[in-house]
Amino acid sequence: MVIIAHSIDMIISLINPEKIVLIGEIFKERLLLSTLKLELQKVTLEEQKYDLIVSDILNEMHTYNPISIVRHNLFRKNIWRDEL
């Protein structure tokens, strides 16, 4: 988590975003997310204000784009690897 916190700190220092959106199953774990937030507090400056958001867009993508249902199902089932 320290490496991820330092990477996010570099992004914050370079472009100063208002929101940081994290996507993925790893960030849904409360323990890992709280650890990441603590590490970010250690490395970021007091003046840097940002919102850290965990998105569930990969699971809800079918509501935004109908074509994404097909794409999500194709890659989820590993059709391209002949592992049906």
Q: What is the pTM of this model?
A: 0.61
Total domains in the fold of the chain: 1
Residue 84's pLDDT band (boundaries 50, 70, 90)? very low
Could you list the residue range(s) of the whole structural domain that residue 46 is in? 2-81
Per residue in 39-82, pLDDT (tens digit) is: 988 988 888 888 888 887 766 665 666 776 677 777 766 555 55
pLDDT attached to residue 49: 82
Q: Which residues of 15-50 are buried (b: 16+ CB within 10 A; e: fewer)?
A: eeeeeeeeeeeebeeeeebeebeebbeeebeeeeee
DSSP classification of residue 6: H
